[in-house]
Structure 1
Amino acid sequence: MSTRVFNLPDLGEGLTEAALVRWMVSVGDTVSIDQPIAEVETAKSIVELPSPYAGVVVQLHGAEGDALLTGSPVLEVLDERAPEAAEPAVGSPESPGAPPSPDEEREAYRHEERAGSGNVLIGYGTGRGPAKGRRRRARGGIGGGRSGATSTPALVHEAPAPVRISDAPRRTVAVRSPIVRRLARELGVDPHRVRATGSDGAITRADVLRAADAPRADASEGTQQDPVTAGAHTSPLPVARVERFSPLRRVVSETLSRSRAEIPEATVWVDVDLTELWELRPLMAADGERPPSLTAILARYTLLALQQYPILASRLAPTGDAIEIYEGANLGIAVDTSRGLMVPVMRDAHAMSIAELDRELRSLSATARDGRTPPEQLRGSTFTLNNYGGLGVDGSAAIINHPEVAMLGIGRVLERAWVVDGRVQARRIAQLSLVFDHRVCDGGYAAGFLRAVVDLLEHPMRAYPAV
């Protein structure tokens, strides 16, 4: 029998970490291959992790809410297969250049701890680091090494920058998790000054966060201050708490920052009279079904207008000197969720009717709010529709969903005094706003598209039977 370690796999899309939402197994449980063992939250969605091994769970790595790095351990399974049926041992001739076995890792850990190495505390030099960590072969052999240098292993890990350590006397500490080591390094926390609360005497993630939020120690102790808590001394008010970005918020932040930095955007807006459409909408429902949503109707009319103005559903070519114009449109729909803004995509939306758009919208919105949207459904949009009226606001100067070139938004529908044929009437009015990339078209083109949408919305029967 042998212990198999399941490391967090590469989740794709450039994701390097995931938050552990909940365990679906416990120590002592017997698991089978491909059985879901945990739910993790990435910047894209919540997904289930299937076990690549069968056996008895002997250890779970991480508590619910912890961040797991790609390549870091998730759980350990006792493989009860016969030795001859098991895979070649790690580091054996059948697996040249493979990482060290768990026994070798533990021995390396004890050796470095006895030697007082900082790698145990701050790097990945004594274990299998994240899969994305860079590796390099050491120079050696004939003509390969420096004069007088001793031989080195063929494969070594490149250790990250060390955590800032004070000159105070050292005590032996246990920071076994690479996640905790990385967190301590990022926050500038000295592991020697962290009080461990782990059941096995190890420092946990919560211990590091607690140390980072602790008040500054007496300057006479010579402790270097964590920059997060140091900022509290220069802020206008005491810091109540520090909330770090979730994986989703980090991705949103990067995307919006890139959009604002790269795209010279402009905005045009107009008020639209939706009274006729408002009265017609209940009649659009089939027998026994509810009427389509305003978003579905707006989506259909927007897609019709994009057929006349396809540049707004295009993308700028990677070279920056051409436009990629597509056959049809993949429509992104902005959805406000408890995890943050998400934009699931309706592929080939131009070919859908209002009823089909409505069904797809309801399904995508429910899946997004549950955090179950698969990553492939969050990419590939060519135009985004944003109904922020549901948030109780009238207008918005939105940021384009990079790498798209335009976004159409609609505010809340209000009864307002409106002049019709020289008479003041109560009408259903909403504001439409179009944000567009000024590199791909000028204001006249954008205004033409917006007016086309307005004409369809104000005279909904003109598009029949195209809708």
Structure 2
Amino acid sequence: MVIMHATSATPPPAPNDALRNDFLLPDLGEGLTEAEVVAWRVAPGDVIAIDQIVVEVESAKSVVELPSPYGGRVVTLHAALGQVVHAGMPLITVVPAEAGSAAAGGIVGGGIAGATDAGRADDRLPDTGLAVNVGSGAVLVGYGTMESTVRLTRPAGGRFGNRGLGTGTDSAEVPAPPPAAGALLLEETRRSPVVSPLVRKLAKNHGFEASQLLGSGTGFLVLKADVDAAIAARAAEPTNGDAPAGPAASVGGMPVASTSGATDLRIPLTGLRKVVAARLSQSRREIPEATIWLDVDATELFVAKDRLAKATGERFSITALIARFVVAGLQQYPILNSSLSADGQEIIQHGGINLGLAAQTRRGLMVPVVHNAHTFTTRELRDAIATLVATSERGDFPPADLTGGTFTLNNYGGFGVDGSAAIINYPEVAMLGIGRIIERPWVVDGALAVRRVVQLSFVFDHRVCDGDVASGFLTYVARCIEEPLLLLGTV
């Protein structure tokens, strides 16, 4: 523990390496090794407390708020907004608050580089004897170990160090603003600073070096906006003989004219889309799946739903009731609640049922999980599903809600389709799909009647079971839908 005191008589010591603490991007779980910085909650010169949220990062699965395990003064932000950082890379550097902000280095990695702030006496903490160089070990929101007790202060220059702008007092110290993004384009002899590897790659994908641009960042740092502007300008003007042949297309959604006069659009697989693509490809590549389906008379399910609402005064969704049947079916056929070992030599039959529900969110396809669904009553399962549905509208599931699934229920009837040969949610071994429920002619007791009919489609890993098990599970769920009160005796 290091305890620092600041007094008006003694100037603060200059920070040294022994007092500097680098907060590294922690392991976000589920094999996720990178995340994009989407929001900074602090700036160089800010005084922060242990476990204070300092940054929001977006992994392939969710947006996570990260608290700092160190307290003190922020001297460096190591990544710019939109920059991708990898696990183990530094996010911020913190020194004891009494050390001042003379060593503040601004944003390293794509924004302000080398900026400094001399700090002021009234920015420093009073002589409280507070230990500010103690790490809590917290890596995710909610994992803190102590209350925040440090008074937050802002540097004189404001959140992003723009001291003197517009005040008329220190304007002479402020350098002239850099040119607008893309104002000056490629020059082969130019060597502008480029920090972000994504910016370099984006430029290289379009046939030029980012360093050949005059950047719009501080110190003429080349930003993504500069590269985008250069791409657009190159597309709008006739190219010379040195231009790369064939149609050019943008990364990130910017259309670029092709040689035929039409436009192509090249969209990179990033973030959640990249993870989904990898999982689906792995599933198709490794799992010998088979699909069976069945049309089911769901009329009595709607009758049961109305009776439950009348008896309890509560509403139960069709999805929640079918989920209840699925859990019961997995208890009857537990081999379907399994996964295969990494070497494919063992079937791991899971003791608990963690029911995933495929959800289309603003961020893309996600499968949030109701953990230990086998322990829930129908009412508890309904409430858990309702919570996931509400969160899916925002798409900001915490990582824990997206891990550990053992079986997936996919209700694609909301998209207006009857059935689908779905892809199994790797590494699970089965998935049940629910199609749209529509009125159809149906034979009841030898006579035609109009009934509400739904198609169930079931896809399973043929390595784990044969058709008799898969058919047994599907017909069990179908029977529960046709005669729901047999199972829903207790809510």
Per the normalisation by structure 1, the TM-score is 0.73
Does the 8 Å CA contact 1:264/1:438 hold for their aligned counterparts? yes
> For 1:200 and 1:77, how far apart are their aligned partners in 2?
24
The equivalent position to 2:189 in structure 1, one of 165, 170, 175, is: 170
Alpha-carbon distance, 1:278 to partner: 0.3
The equivalent position to 2:224 in structure 1, one of 201, 205, 208, is: 205
Structure 1 residue 9 corresponds to structure 2 residue 26: yes
Does the 8 Å CA contact 1:410/1:433 hold for their aligned counterparts? yes
The equivalent position to 1:311 in structure 2, one of 335, 340, 357, is: 335
Alpha-carbon distance, 1:207 to partner: 2.2
The equivalent position to 1:403 in structure 2, one of 407, 427, 430, is: 427
> For 1:188 and 1:379, how far apart are their aligned partners in 2?
40
Which amino acid in 2 is paired with 1:174?
Answer: P
Structure 1 residue 192 corresponds to structure 2 residue 211: yes
The equivalent position to 2:398 in structure 1, one of 374, 394, 400, is: 374
Question: Equivalent residue for 1:358?
Answer: 382
The equivalent position to 2:483 in structure 1, one of 442, 456, 459, is: 459
Distance 1:40-1:288 versus aligned 2 partners, 3 A rule: farther
Distance 1:401-1:373 versus aligned 2 partners, 3 A rule: same
- 1:316-371 superposed Cα distances (whole Å, 9 cap, x missing partner): 23332332223342211111111111111222212222111101111123234333
> For 2:461 and 2:244, how far apart are their aligned partners in 1?
50
Question: Equivalent residue for 2:62?
Answer: 45
The equivalent position to 2:473 in structure 1, one of 442, 449, 458, is: 449
Distance 1:442-1:38 versus aligned 2 partners, 3 A rule: same
> For 1:237 and 1:321, how far apart are their aligned partners in 2?
54
The equivalent position to 1:439 in structure 2, one of 449, 459, 463, is: 463
Does the 8 Å CA contact 2:25/2:91 hold for their aligned counterparts? yes
Which amino acid in 1 is paired with 2:331?
Answer: Q
The equivalent position to 2:294 in structure 1, one of 246, 270, 279, is: 270
The equivalent position to 1:31 in structure 2, one of 48, 51, 58, is: 48
Secondary structure of the equivalent of 1:284?
Answer: helix
Secondary structure of the equivalent of 1:452?
Answer: helix
Per the normalisation by structure 2, the TM-score is 0.70
> For 1:34 and 1:185, how far apart are their aligned partners in 2?
40
Distance 1:61-1:318 versus aligned 2 partners, 3 A rule: closer
Distance 1:282-1:192 versus aligned 2 partners, 3 A rule: same
Alpha-carbon distance, 1:298 to partner: 0.6
Does the 8 Å CA contact 1:188/1:225 hold for their aligned counterparts? no
Alpha-carbon distance, 1:421 to partner: 1.4
Alpha-carbon distance, 1:178 to partner: 4.6
Question: Equivalent residue for 1:246?
Answer: 270
Does the 8 Å CA contact 2:352/2:374 hold for their aligned counterparts? yes
Distance 1:384-1:201 versus aligned 2 partners, 3 A rule: same
- 1:229-273 superposed Cα distances (whole Å, 9 cap, x missing partner): 699787977335433233111111000000011111111111111
Secondary structure of the equivalent of 1:440?
Answer: coil
Alpha-carbon distance, 1:420 to partner: 1.0
Identity, % of aligned positions: 46
Question: Equivalent residue for 1:159?
Answer: none
Structure 1 residue 292 corresponds to structure 2 residue 316: yes
Which sections of structure 2, spanning at least 5 residues, go unmatched?
1-13, 114-186
Alpha-carbon distance, 1:291 to partner: 1.6
Which amino acid in 2 is paired with 1:23?
Answer: W
Alpha-carbon distance, 1:199 to partner: 3.0
Which amino acid in 1 is paired with 2:439?
Answer: E
Question: Equivalent residue for 1:67?
Answer: 84
Alpha-carbon distance, 1:22 to partner: 2.5
Q: For this pair of structures, how many residues does the alignment match?
A: 392
Does the 8 Å CA contact 1:189/1:211 hold for their aligned counterparts? no
Question: Equivalent residue for 1:22?
Answer: 39
> For 1:371 and 1:81, how far apart are their aligned partners in 2?
41
Does the 8 Å CA contact 2:325/2:480 hold for their aligned counterparts? yes
Comparing 398-407 and 342-351, the one that deviates more: 342-351
Question: Equivalent residue for 2:371?
Answer: 347
- 1:38-60 superposed Cα distances (whole Å, 9 cap, x missing partner): 22211121110212333444555
> For 2:192 and 2:349, how far apart are their aligned partners in 1?
59
Which amino acid in 1 is paired with 2:482?
Answer: E
Structure holding more helix per residue: 1
> For 1:326 and 1:8, how far apart are their aligned partners in 2?
32
> For 1:236 and 1:169, how far apart are their aligned partners in 2?
28
Does the 8 Å CA contact 1:212/1:226 hold for their aligned counterparts? no
> For 1:409 and 1:359, how far apart are their aligned partners in 2?
21
Alpha-carbon distance, 1:185 to partner: 5.6
> For 2:290 and 2:474, how far apart are their aligned partners in 1?
13
Secondary structure of the equivalent of 2:326?
Answer: helix
Comparing 264-273 and 171-180, the one that deviates more: 171-180
Secondary structure of the equivalent of 1:413?
Answer: strand
Does the 8 Å CA contact 2:56/2:65 hold for their aligned counterparts? yes
> For 2:77 and 2:343, how far apart are their aligned partners in 1?
47
Structure 1 residue 54 corresponds to structure 2 residue 71: yes
Does the 8 Å CA contact 1:188/1:227 hold for their aligned counterparts? no
Distance 1:46-1:438 versus aligned 2 partners, 3 A rule: same
Within-5 A mapping of 1:383-402: 383-402=407-426
> For 1:76 and 1:223, how far apart are their aligned partners in 2?
42
Alpha-carbon distance, 1:28 to partner: 4.9
Which amino acid in 2 is paired with 1:207?
Answer: D
> For 2:53 and 2:192, how far apart are their aligned partners in 1?
34
> For 1:252 and 1:293, how far apart are their aligned partners in 2?
28
> For 2:34 and 2:307, how far apart are their aligned partners in 1?
49
> For 1:232 and 1:392, how far apart are their aligned partners in 2?
35
Distance 1:183-1:170 versus aligned 2 partners, 3 A rule: same
Which amino acid in 1 is paired with 2:407?
Answer: F
- 1:301-323 superposed Cα distances (whole Å, 9 cap, x missing partner): 11212222222212223332332
